[in-house]
Structures are given as structure tokens and as C-alpha cells.
Amino acid sequence: MSTSTHRVLILGHSFVRRLFDFVHEQNLSTFGLSQCVVYGVGVSGATVDKLQTDRTVHEKISHIQPHIIILQIGGNCLCNNDIRPDQLAYKIFHFARHLHDTYGSHVYVCEIFPRPRPRGISASLYESRRFAANKALHVLFISPELLHVWSHRRLFNSPLDLFLRDGCHLNPTGSRKFYRSVRLAIMHACRQLSTQ
């Protein structure tokens, strides 16, 4: 596949929709990667369950037939105390496995973002749940060859203010850092595909 154009799908909740708003505003639609065609499907308020069962989402995936899927999901689920962080990690893992098995894609699951002002729970509880869910994801994804966890290290460790006043979504600085991190994930996935 080294000379092919890779079809990349970034799939998730409103972070993805807003990322593509940023990408189009900045005229970065190819993510600066000539060997890729990058698509985005972002569903506001989406949970893992919603993305798994949404017929429109799966029709779009079937139409795109992506070689690479980047998942940014889980943040909305963490605001629901009825689901434990380890349960959420399993849901994400099984969804990623389903996407790989169904579409033959390399799947990269991005770590769940922090939220300074989560809805329905305190910031400290959200953060402890986020830490536990991300830790569980790294354990679950330790061996599968075509499923990976992507750490937004440069994003999470930034001293800059990255969020809008709503305490949930990224501001322009955060969006640029998110874009760069996702671009690195795509580059990593493309390198893996080119060795096959």
C-alpha cells in the first residue's frame, strides 16, 4: 500500500465536528498529508452506544471504506455515573474491534480529553474517571496489532488555556494542538500501512 492514497476517517463526538470546522477555516483539509484523503464524522453529544447503532454513521463509514479510523470518543459517556470507567473502556475496545473486523481498518483510539467543566458531575470526579478509563484503554489495547491507543501528550501537558468558556470544547489554540496531534496519529498509521 506504500504508493496508494490512504482513506482516513476521524470519527467521534462534537470534538471531531469542531475539529473539521477549524480545518476548513484554516484551509487544512488534507492535514498537510498528500498521501491521504481525510474525512470527518462528528456527532454532537455522541456516546459510544450511539455511534455503534447509528445507521447514518455506518452508511458513511461503508461509503468511505477507510484504511485508517481515528476515534475520539468517551468524554460524553464519562459524565454518566451509571457507567464505570472500566466498562467504558471495554465498550470502546469492542467498538474499535467491530470497526476493524467490519471494515478492515487500522483503528486508533484517542485518549479521552479532560473537561474543566463537565456536565452533570464535578471536574475532580470527571478527571479521576477519565484517568481510570484511559489507563484501562492502554491495558486493553496492549496486544492487538491493528488497534492502538493514541495519547494526546502534547495537548494534555500544555500550560496554555485550551478550552472555551463552556469548559468542554477547545478554543482555537486547543483546536490547533488537537489538529497537530491527530495529524501525528495519521502519519503513524500511514507508516504502519506502508510496511504491510
Torsion of CA 59, 60, 66, 71, to 10 degrees: -110
Closest to 144 (Cα-Cα) out of 87, 187, 92, 194: 92
Number of domains in the chain: 1
Mean pLDDT over all residues of the chain?
A: 91
Q: Is the pLDDT of residue 158 over 70?
A: no
Indicate the residue type of 74: G
Task: Please give the average per-residue pLDDT across 63-84, as a whole number.
Answer: 96
Comparing 28 with 8, the larger pLDDT belongs to 8
What was the pLDDT predicted at 1?
Answer: 42
Please indicate, yes or no, if residue 142 is contained in any of the structural domains: yes
What was the pLDDT predicted at 3?
Answer: 54
Q: What is the share, in percent, of the chain residues with pLDDT greater than 90?
A: 69
List the domain range (segments joined by +) for residue 27: 6-194
Please indicate, yes or no, if residue 129 is contained in any of the structural domains: yes
Q: Which CATH number do you get for residue 25?
A: 3.40.50.1110
With 0-12 / 13-18 / 19 or more C-beta atoms within 10 angstroms meaning exposed / middle / buried, residue 108 is buried
pTM attached to this predicted model: 0.92
Task: Please give the average per-residue pLDDT across 92-112, as a whole number.
Answer: 95
Closest to 10 (Cα-Cα) out of 113, 49, 2, 23: 23
- Torsion sign over Cα 8, 56, 152, 24: positive
Q: Kind of pairing, strands 6-12 and 36-42?
A: parallel
79: Cβ–Cβ under 8 A, 6 or more apart, which residues?
A: 118, 119, 120, 121, 126
Note whether 184 and 191 are within 8 A (CB): no
Please indicate, yes or no, if residue 1 is contained in any of the structural domains: no
What was the pLDDT predicted at 102?
Answer: 95
With cut-offs at 50, 70 and 90, classify the pLDDT of residue 183. very high
What was the pLDDT predicted at 47?
Answer: 96
Cα–Cα dist 176/103, whole Å? 29
Q: Nearest 5 degrees, angle CA 115-CA 170-CA 100?
A: 80
What was the pLDDT predicted at 46?
Answer: 95
